[in-house]
């Protein structure tokens, strides 16, 4: 008989009292990573399988994508992932206690290319303040995009925020990154031979 406890990756924050500690989210104190805008979950599933001793938490605003990812996690019985269906912008401000995450991934966020829409980009000063608060000291923020204007925007905002150091120094990004699964958008852009920019910042 299988005695395993049921796997419940869905984290329904509407029934919990906020902010949530690491223990309340994961039930343990292991190293933890957050993925913002996980899409259909391919990346978080691969990275969680490759790092069974870490906890992973994903936030996705689109319900259809969230449900697809949930199915993937359940079908593969992956036990180190929790998923939240919510707006990550609000979540980083309201949902988590301070100093929880060792790593934060933002992979191919919506670029909002038109000038009048740039205010919708998730990277701004207030968002960086909130990320800073929920990340551990020396924690790493990884940002990935094919959109050069958003890359420049991000490097400039993080630089002027003054509380993270840019791992890639003056150039600010790399076109190569090792030991990382590819996201769905990354695969599509690479197939189209688009240049990918990998950014990495350390919380000071
Ligand atoms: C361009 S897609 C990239 C998906 C995935 N990260 C990838 O690389 O394949 C951007 C994703 O971010 C999600 N997203 C956008 N704004 C969000 C927000 N405020 N909170 C959570 N997810 C968000 C979108 O719904 C979408 O799934």
Domain assignment present for residue 7? The answer is: no
Domain assignment present for residue 1? The answer is: no
Q: Nearest Cα to 92, choosing from 122, 62, 54? A: 122
The boundaries of the domain holding residue 81 are 13-203
58, 86, 109, best to mutate for ligand 1 pocket (most atoms within 8 Å of CB): 109
Find the mean pLDDT for residues 54-65: 98
Catalytic residue among 110, 129, 146, 191: 110
Domain assignment present for residue 6? The answer is: no
Write the pLDDT tens digit of every residue in 63-83.
Answer: 999 999 999 999 999 999 999
DSSP string, the chain: ---PPPP--B--GGGSPSSBPHHHHHSS-S-EEEEES-TTSHHHHHHHHH-TTSEEEEEES-HHHHHHHHHHHHHTT--SEEEEES-HHHHHHHTB-SS-EEEEEEES-----SGGGGGG-S-SHHHHHHHHHHEEEEEEEEEEES-HHHHHHHHHHHHHH-SEEETTTTT--BS--SS-PPPHHHHHHHHTT---EEEEEEE-
The structure's pTM equals 0.97
Domain assignment present for residue 26? The answer is: yes
Copy the structure tokens of residue 153. 């925007």
pLDDT the model gives residue 37: 98
Domain assignment present for residue 5? The answer is: no
Write the pLDDT tens digit of every residue in 96-147.
Answer: 999 999 999 999 999 999 999 999 999 999 999 999 999 999 999 999 999 9
The Å distance, Cα 61 to ligand 1 centre, comes to 7
Write the pLDDT tens digit of every residue in 165-189.
Answer: 999 999 999 999 999 999 999 999 9
Task: Establish whether 110 is a catalytic residue.
Answer: yes
The Å distance, Cα 120 to ligand 1 centre, comes to 13
Find the mean pLDDT for residues 191-204: 98
The Å distance, Cα 2 to ligand 1 centre, comes to 36
The Å distance, Cα 37 to ligand 1 centre, comes to 3
CATH number at residue 61: 3.40.50.150
Compute how many other C-beta atoms are within 10 angstroms of the C-beta atom of residue 180: 16
Q: Which residues line ligand 1 (CB under 6 A)?
A: 36-39, 59-62, 65, 87-89, 107-110, 122, 183-186
Nearest CA to ligand 1 atom 3: 108
Report the number of distinct structural domains present in the chain: 1
């Amino acid at each position: 008989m299988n005695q395993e406890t049921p796997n419940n990756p869905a984290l329904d924050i509407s029934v919990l009292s906020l902010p949530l500690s690491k223990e309340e989210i994961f039930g343990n104190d292991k190293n933890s990573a957050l993925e913002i805008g996980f899409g259909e979950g391919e990346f978080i599933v691969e990275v969680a399988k490759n790092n069974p001793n870490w906890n992973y938490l994903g936030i996705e605003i689109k319900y259809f994508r969230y449900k697809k990812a949930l199915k993937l996690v359940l079908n593969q019985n992956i036990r180190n992932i929790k998923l939240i269906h919510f707006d990550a912008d609000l979540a980083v401000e309201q949902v988590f206690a301070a100093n929880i995450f060792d790593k934060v991934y933002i992979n191919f966020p919506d670029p909002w290319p038109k000038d009048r829409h740039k205010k919708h980009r998730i990277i701004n000063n207030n968002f960086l303040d909130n990320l800073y608060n929920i990340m551990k000291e020396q924690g790493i923020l990884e940002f990935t995009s094919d959109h050069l204007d958003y890359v420049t925007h991000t490097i400039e905002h993080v630089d002027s925020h003054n509380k993270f150091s840019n791992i890639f120094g003056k150039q600010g990004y790399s076109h190569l990154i090792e030991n990382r699964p590819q996201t769905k958008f990354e695969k599509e852009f690479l197939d189209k031979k688009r240049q990918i920019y990998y950014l990495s910042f350390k919380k000071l």
